[in-house]
Structure 1
Amino acid sequence: MHSHGRARAGAVGTATSRWLGVAALLASTAASGQTVVQIDASQPPPPLRSAHLLMGTATGPGGTIGVNSLYLTRDGKPWLPVMGEFHFTRTPAAEWEAELLKMKAAGIDIVSTYAIWNQLELAPGRLDFTGTRDLRRFAELCRKHGLLLFLRPGPWAHAEARFGGIPDWVVARSRPRSDDAAYLAEVDRFWRGLYGQLEGLLWKDGGPVIGLQIENEYNLDGPGQGRQHIATLKALAQRIGFDVPLYTVTGWDHTVYPRGQVLPVMGGYVDEPWSAKTGPLLPKENYLFRFGSRVSGDLGAQTRGRARGDAEDDADDTPFLGAEYGAGVPVMYRRRPIVSPSDIGAAITTQLGSGVNLLGYYMFHGGANPLVDGRAVEETQASGGYNDVPQIGYDFQAPLGQYGEVNPVSGALRPIHAFLAAYGDRLAPMAAHAPTRLPAAAADVATLRWSVRSDARAGFLFVNNHVRQYPMAAHPDMRFAVKLGAETLSLPSHGVTVPSGASFFWPINMDLDGATLVWATAQPLTRLQDGARPIHVLAATLPGAVELAFAASSVTRLSVAARSDGAGRLIAAVMPSRRPISVTLRDGSVVRVLVLSVEDAARASVGALAGQRRLVLTTAGVSFDADRLSLSQRGNARFDFAILPAPQSISADAAVGRAKDGAYSATMPLRAMLAVMPTVVREAGVAPPVAIGGPAKAALQPLPEAHRAAAAWSFTLPRSVLAGQGDAWLEIDYRADIARLFDGADMLDDAFWDGRVWRIGLRRFADRLGKPWTLTALPLRSDAPIYLDDSARTLLPATGQVADLRTIRVVPEYTLSVRAR
């Protein structure tokens, strides 16, 4: 996959070995034991082209959205947006608005959503767009809150849905995913129903819908298939009325498509829950910087392409766009990996450093599969799918979980999103450059992984030293030599240690409103305005002080101690703080620079509050709405938060105390945590052995009859658990294979055990409280051929089976509404 990148990097390395000045640098650092790594980033990006990309109407009342061979544009300017997947049919409509506001606060610009056919057509010929299926209302809420919408209507979506979302009766009487006339007639009817929901809401009409993804993971190449089928579907969409600025297809797993008619979008995940392997995977290539191929390895397409995919040959003609970079991963029956914020943050940093110019996530918001007339419509091997997934639960370990909880991975991604919102127009035109030495393969955990994106004058230096489940070698006393134009910058001024697990990016020759930041050992986060003075916010990336190097030609003074390096730079060592430093420019104006700690960066959210863009630092979940800031957190009544720049005044649901540096605190009335004492309904029987088979030739989810061996408990939750503001969380700590929660005959949720406490938001089931619920747990056999992380394995007995319910409790969620002026 990376052989092309290594060849190109080798050619670059031959050139960089002849840099003037690098030999002297190497000689000067050899005695000190420093290691200097090199990149030639002096070549400008290739010329831009766009006439060959045949998209739809680009201009509407909201402006113009365009695309060229390198990046997206908005009103003619480079644009690098963040797109996050949220399935409207997998979340109750009553929750949509609050969840969309959470996504916006997390830095999402574009909401992408599958229109999953079998969740919208409940019986042959009966499309239903009411309630949770009301696509028009979902789109109108996006427009209300300034979010754009990218529709993914399939018709084959995958989405871990039965038959990829194509209804059973369409599968039974046509040849799906081809130009078969019977199939196309069904697609025409379905898509016309979707268009009826979105008519008047397209970008050209002033609506939020800017794009359409055609099909998904399409690599079939036979009669009535292949590139012609994608062309047929695009023509059908346009004939129906879907005239949008952007048309895309997924570009991985040997996808074929008519080049120029659609744009390939890429993806990658930090584990493969669809893998048949029962042990840890080898290091994933998503932790390598990409220079020769944009296409990730196996992303789980249900079909296998035979020929070289079209995206491999389309890189010079299309921008590097993403749609399915995993902000989490699903838990499937045979494979149940648990990912950390560092796992995700490192992979995303690496993709940006490889040239990604649309940061698209799948999933950004988890969901729940709806039951259709009591029938499950999830993907199963028994129905010909490649995977077994829970009937209902689709949490995906996403930044926003199945019930809307803000998960820790959000803290690893929000700083990146804030950077793209403030400075993405600078990054988008920059090309990725490879170092002289690349890792030999994805399994090489000793060689430093880094890249530079530049426009030949300025740029950003990306480093990744993290690979999921594999300790990386630390790199002590490192310096970076980067050639830009005729100059070679050596940074920082002293050697630094890149520890195992680190991932970050640093600015090079970055313009801070007139002050040239030659480099910083900190990651740019956002730009704020306090009166007439701009504030540029950076985040520390390594322990200790952050080094800031300014061009002396652009600044005269810093408000902290600084030294001249004799090469035209003023260099300061700044400890992270919530107090900015001042930088005085040659014309006497002042720019301020705020350097946050690593911990504060993970607490950061950026949004409009009281008419101004502000930075909020808190561990609570955040959303912004005009002059109102909403905070939420589980189990903690005390809220600590900072708002920068501080508003003139604030008021809240509780008394607010103010400390220095824009910090506030408030405590809500305590709500009781409830310990639930369940009643045993039946003891566990003996679970049958887990069978091997199916398309994956791997562990098969037990048949429904196997659940006769499940243990069962009954309990009743009082309605009072939802008294007060916010949700309440049912936390079930158990050890078993499959757990299911029922209200009578209705299944409310289910989960495959993966070592975590199962957490269920109760607000969604408010009308069911006060009635007895039943929890069942199918025993997990110690010989089950499934993958669990070591953290889960250590919780299980070595032999026999387990169906153990340890505790059930209800933990209150606290919310605080803050109004700012």
Structure 2
Amino acid sequence: MTRSIRVSAPPPPIRGHLPFGGGDIEVTSRWIERGGRPWMPRTGEIHYSRLPRERWDETLGHARAGGLDSVAMYVFWAAHEPEPGRFDWTGNLDLRAFVELAARHGLDVVIRLGPWAHGEYRNGGFPDWLLERDLKARTDDPAYLALVRALYAETIGRLRGLTHAAGGPVIAAQVDNELYDQPGHLATLRAMAEELGLRVPIWTATGWGGAQVPDTLLPVFGAYADGFWEEATTEWPAFAPVHFRYSTTRDDLTVGADLREALDGVAAGPAADRDDVPFATCELGGGMHVAYHRRPLVEPEDVAAVALAKLGSGSAWQGYYMYAGGTQRTGPQGTQQESQATGYPNDVPSLTYDFGAPIGEHGQIRPHHHLLRRQHLWLDADGHRLARMAPHIGDDPGGLRWSVRSDGTSGYLFATTYQPRHHRLPAQPGVQFTVQLPDAAITVPTAPIDLPAGRSLVWPLRYPLTDALELQSATVQLLTRIPLPEGGGDLVVFAATDGVPVELVLGDGTTADLPGPPGPDCFIDLDGVRLLVLDDASANRLYRLHVAGRARLVLADAPVYADGDDLVVHADRERVDLAILSGPPTPRPTHPASLWRAYALNVPGAGSELLLADLRPGHGPAAAPRYGGPMGRLSAPEDYSGAAVVHVELPEPTADRTLLRVEWTGDTARAYSGGRLISDHFWHGRPWDIDVTSLRSVRLELLPRARSAGVWVDPALRRREDGIAVESVTVIRVKETRLTIEEDS
């Protein structure tokens, strides 16, 4: 069956009606412009105060290499003003230094000013001393505003000279977070920040949960594949399937709903969708945190599928929470995580805030860093055209989900058979689409194909290869395009999808033939342009990095980023293979006719070593379930007297970073160095990684699992036996190495 849809040119955007913009940035009703050209930001949340300062540089480097063009971060009030009137901006609290470093990596900055943040921080980031005062927080109570003014003045002072208007990286600010019923107060916060000197072109507020956002703030939205804040009896949250579909609904009424109910007793209002502002996101789930009672296992493919679904739904700003994990801070009251002890419904780990993010708590680079980079490369190359394209959602009673974004002349076709592994969608036989544009009908593919399960696609329609040559349709995804050296035209790079035949139909109706299977050497020469069709695996290894004076394509089997003339590689193996397009000569190119130049880097000291395996350590009985907090949910255990104890002696360090990776089954665990707690973990199916770089031994304390306790874990894990099983304890050695590239290569 051929699916058909008719699309038309969308109306021009409304301009000049929003109180945003400044310099070269303008916010229209449908997209954001920069320098007169539509711009689709890619923003990742990275909390400077939850990362060791010495890791800022590499984290921002990997974020930029992952295709982000901006980063966002909370300013946690409790961290910066632990005592009334005493502000701290030192060490990893040095906001100014972090913003300056982001700028050095070519990243813009979104400041989430607070004063309330949430972020799974104790009291939402409010200092304890604030809550002891007789005032009405998060309102225009003068006593509260006076304290907020002091915080804002300190924060804005740290940003002096760094705003977009001053030529700096700070392009946007968010006031408060998840405040849904105080639009006047939100407006007051922006006015106060501007009065104190903060001038940015974009002001935002979170819009989910039917939030009442004043016209002076741009509502921004979120989408998660699962949620730790749901009940332990919830198999898959009702909100989650929506985010794997194409939909013009922006709002999610369930994010933060447990806090509204528990803290305020207020239900969400009606959806806050508007058509006079662009569809912007700030919290596409980069993974998912865990609570004691509910421990989602969000897969990398889940993250990528949700992000692509939002693009097919009309998103004009891709913002991720979290993009890089971190570690909860420690303050005068101990660790600063949210907990039932501070009035929250949930107990979360005391230290780890890894979030299963693309960049982990200790700098681990995960598969969704690569999957998202593919989307970001495309947005960097063609986001200015995609932003102009309005979504048209396909109607298909057969179950295939699809959408077309089009400007009335060209477009992109989105289709998906993807849902998380326990809620899979079926494969779709005989798939073919006809998109009726105002002047022509395009059918893709030219013959029906069987679309496998678990795929998310985006295919170009009438994509301009050159001024004179058009790609009418294709069954591959655009990745990037880059000028070839010495006036050789552009190289346009596509990615094939496993199980989907490749078809490239040119504007004259002819088909471009592939010289071989998709891969690094699948080049096609056309008039004025060269195409490259990569296979799925190679596309996940592709980077576009500005190094040694110009943009270059890099294929790497270890995480890399650019730093001046160097490619910085973080290797966890002794040999790393890299290839650079039109790189400097090497005696052994990968292929006699290839444009790639190959490098084999030897990285002595990197690699992994198995220390322990197949342990069944003795332990006491599982603790009886306890319940607490305002919603009566399971509480995290505090008594470790019956814990199994595993002592791990660590080998001599040989790398820049050493991680201890524990694959285990149980309930909760803590790691100590001497008497100091250095890590904790709620078992949920992902390995427990501990940074042991400077340590020689670690003591692990593990509590046993009891299925009868009622903790929610992923269905794939539920048959694991009660008790404790340690499958393996492995040392992972990560070493930094650099490859210097000559500017004229």
Compared CA separation, residues 582 and 46, structure 1 to 2 (3 A):
same
Matched letter for residue 184 of structure 1: L
1:36 aligns with 2:36: no
Task: Report the alpha carbon displacement of residue 648 of structure 1 after superposing the two structures with TM.
Answer: 2.2
Task: Report the alpha carbon displacement of residue 776 of structure 1 after superposing the two structures with TM.
Answer: 1.3
Match in the other structure for 2:679:
749
Match in the other structure for 1:414:
373
User: For residues 108 and 449 of structure 1, what CA distance do their matches in structure 2 show?
Assistant: 27
**8 Å contact from structure 2 (residues 434, 443) kept in 1:** yes
Match in the other structure for 1:87:
47
CA displacement, residues 444-491 of structure 1 (integer Å, 9 cap, x when unaligned): xx5100000000000000111111121212111211010111322111
User: For residues 338 and 522 of structure 1, what CA distance do their matches in structure 2 show?
Assistant: 30
User: For residues 301 and 89 of structure 2, what CA distance do their matches in structure 1 show?
Assistant: 39
User: For residues 339 and 125 of structure 1, what CA distance do their matches in structure 2 show?
Assistant: 41
Match in the other structure for 1:576:
518
Identity of aligned residues (%): 35
User: For residues 431 and 618 of structure 1, what CA distance do their matches in structure 2 show?
Assistant: 35
Out of 650, 653, 659, the position equivalent to 1:717 is 650
Task: Report the alpha carbon displacement of residue 424 of structure 1 after superposing the two structures with TM.
Answer: 0.5
Matched letter for residue 795 of structure 1: R
Out of 514, 517, 520, the position equivalent to 2:474 is 520
User: For residues 605 and 98 of structure 2, what CA distance do their matches in structure 1 show?
Assistant: 35
CA displacement, residues 313-370 of structure 1 (integer Å, 9 cap, x when unaligned): x2x1100001000111112211112122221111111110000010000000000011
Match in the other structure for 2:404:
452
Question: What is the RMSD computed on CA atoms of the aligned residues?
Answer: 2.2
User: Aligned runs of 1:418-437 on 2, under 5 Å?
Assistant: 418-435=377-394, 437=395
Match in the other structure for 2:34:
74
Task: Report the alpha carbon displacement of residue 667 of structure 1 after superposing the two structures with TM.
Answer: 2.8
CA displacement, residues 592-631 of structure 1 (integer Å, 9 cap, x when unaligned): 0100001111112211122221222223111111221122
TM-score, normalised to structure 2, is: 0.93
1:203 aligns with 2:164: yes
Match in the other structure for 2:720:
795
User: For residues 297 and 649 of structure 1, what CA distance do their matches in structure 2 show?
Assistant: 57
Matched letter for residue 346 of structure 2: N
User: For residues 657 and 338 of structure 1, what CA distance do their matches in structure 2 show?
Assistant: 43
User: Aligned runs of 1:213-362 on 2, under 5 Å?
Assistant: 213-220=174-181, 226-259=182-215, 261-281=216-236, 284-301=240-257, 302-304=259-261, 305-306=266-267, 308-309=269-270, 311-312=272-273, 314=274, 316-362=275-321
1:620 aligns with 2:574: no
Task: Report the alpha carbon displacement of residue 675 of structure 1 after superposing the two structures with TM.
Answer: 4.7
User: For residues 61 and 382 of structure 2, what CA distance do their matches in structure 1 show?
Assistant: 22
1:809 aligns with 2:730: yes
1:52 aligns with 2:17: yes
Match in the other structure for 1:473:
426
User: For residues 418 and 299 of structure 2, what CA distance do their matches in structure 1 show?
Assistant: 11
User: For residues 550 and 200 of structure 1, what CA distance do their matches in structure 2 show?
Assistant: 50
User: For residues 545 and 740 of structure 1, what CA distance do their matches in structure 2 show?
Assistant: 49
Matched letter for residue 222 of structure 2: G
Task: Report the alpha carbon displacement of residue 583 of structure 1 after superposing the two structures with TM.
Answer: 4.3
**8 Å contact from structure 1 (residues 551, 570) kept in 2:** no
Compared CA separation, residues 667 and 691, structure 1 to 2 (3 A):
same
Task: Report the alpha carbon displacement of residue 184 of structure 1 after superposing the two structures with TM.
Answer: 1.2
Matched letter for residue 467 of structure 1: Q
Task: Report the alpha carbon displacement of residue 236 of structure 1 after superposing the two structures with TM.
Answer: 1.0
User: For residues 562 and 736 of structure 2, what CA distance do their matches in structure 1 show?
Assistant: 13
1:666 aligns with 2:601: yes
CA displacement, residues 69-108 of structure 1 (integer Å, 9 cap, x when unaligned): 0001111110012000000000011110111001000001
User: For residues 415 and 672 of structure 1, what CA distance do their matches in structure 2 show?
Assistant: 27
Matched letter for residue 521 of structure 2: R
Moved more, 811-820 or 507-516: 811-820
Compared CA separation, residues 176 and 104, structure 1 to 2 (3 A):
same
Compared CA separation, residues 548 and 714, structure 1 to 2 (3 A):
same
Match in the other structure for 1:637:
574
CA displacement, residues 540-595 of structure 1 (integer Å, 9 cap, x when unaligned): 0242641000012xxxxxxxxxxxxxxx444545631323544443xxxx200100
**8 Å contact from structure 1 (residues 616, 642) kept in 2:** yes
**8 Å contact from structure 1 (residues 157, 215) kept in 2:** yes
Task: Report the alpha carbon displacement of residue 374 of structure 1 after superposing the two structures with TM.
Answer: 6.5
Out of 632, 642, 648, the position equivalent to 2:584 is 648
Matched letter for residue 254 of structure 2: D
Moved more, 295-304 or 146-155: 295-304
User: For residues 309 and 119 of structure 1, what CA distance do their matches in structure 2 show?
Assistant: 35
**8 Å contact from structure 1 (residues 257, 310) kept in 2:** no
**8 Å contact from structure 1 (residues 603, 619) kept in 2:** yes
Match in the other structure for 1:442:
none
Out of 646, 670, 674, the position equivalent to 1:740 is 670
Task: Report the alpha carbon displacement of residue 46 of structure 1 after superposing the two structures with TM.
Answer: 2.2
Moved more, 377-386 or 666-675: 666-675
Task: Report the alpha carbon displacement of residue 736 of structure 1 after superposing the two structures with TM.
Answer: 2.2
> What SS is found at the alignment partner of 1:184?
helix
User: For residues 599 and 684 of structure 1, what CA distance do their matches in structure 2 show?
Assistant: 44
Out of 524, 535, 538, the position equivalent to 2:491 is 535
User: For residues 157 and 549 of structure 2, what CA distance do their matches in structure 1 show?
Assistant: 36
User: For residues 268 and 438 of structure 1, what CA distance do their matches in structure 2 show?
Assistant: 23
Compared CA separation, residues 686 and 277, structure 1 to 2 (3 A):
closer
Match in the other structure for 1:556:
none
Compared CA separation, residues 350 and 328, structure 1 to 2 (3 A):
same
Match in the other structure for 1:179:
140
1:169 aligns with 2:102: no
> What SS is found at the alignment partner of 1:709?
coil
CA displacement, residues 624-674 of structure 1 (integer Å, 9 cap, x when unaligned): 11221122232x212122222x21247xxxxx9642232332332355755
**8 Å contact from structure 1 (residues 712, 774) kept in 2:** yes
Match in the other structure for 1:610:
548
Larger Rg computed on CA atoms: 1
Compared CA separation, residues 789 and 459, structure 1 to 2 (3 A):
same
> What SS is found at the alignment partner of 2:78?
helix
**8 Å contact from structure 1 (residues 732, 757) kept in 2:** yes
Match in the other structure for 1:819:
740
Out of 65, 69, 72, the position equivalent to 2:25 is 65
User: For residues 309 and 300 of structure 1, what CA distance do their matches in structure 2 show?
Assistant: 15
**8 Å contact from structure 1 (residues 254, 306) kept in 2:** no
Matched letter for residue 144 of structure 2: Y
Matched letter for residue 637 of structure 1: E
> What SS is found at the alignment partner of 1:138?
helix
User: For residues 815 and 252 of structure 1, what CA distance do their matches in structure 2 show?
Assistant: 41
User: For residues 605 and 138 of structure 2, what CA distance do their matches in structure 1 show?
Assistant: 56
Task: Report the alpha carbon displacement of residue 286 of structure 1 after superposing the two structures with TM.
Answer: 3.8
**8 Å contact from structure 2 (residues 566, 738) kept in 1:** yes
Task: Report the alpha carbon displacement of residue 527 of structure 1 after superposing the two structures with TM.
Answer: 0.4
> What SS is found at the alignment partner of 1:333?
coil
Matched letter for residue 70 of structure 1: R
TM-score, normalised to structure 1, is: 0.85
User: For residues 64 and 473 of structure 2, what CA distance do their matches in structure 1 show?
Assistant: 30
Match in the other structure for 1:15:
none
User: For residues 514 and 732 of structure 2, what CA distance do their matches in structure 1 show?
Assistant: 44
User: For residues 227 and 346 of structure 1, what CA distance do their matches in structure 2 show?
Assistant: 33
**8 Å contact from structure 1 (residues 637, 670) kept in 2:** yes
**8 Å contact from structure 1 (residues 658, 665) kept in 2:** no
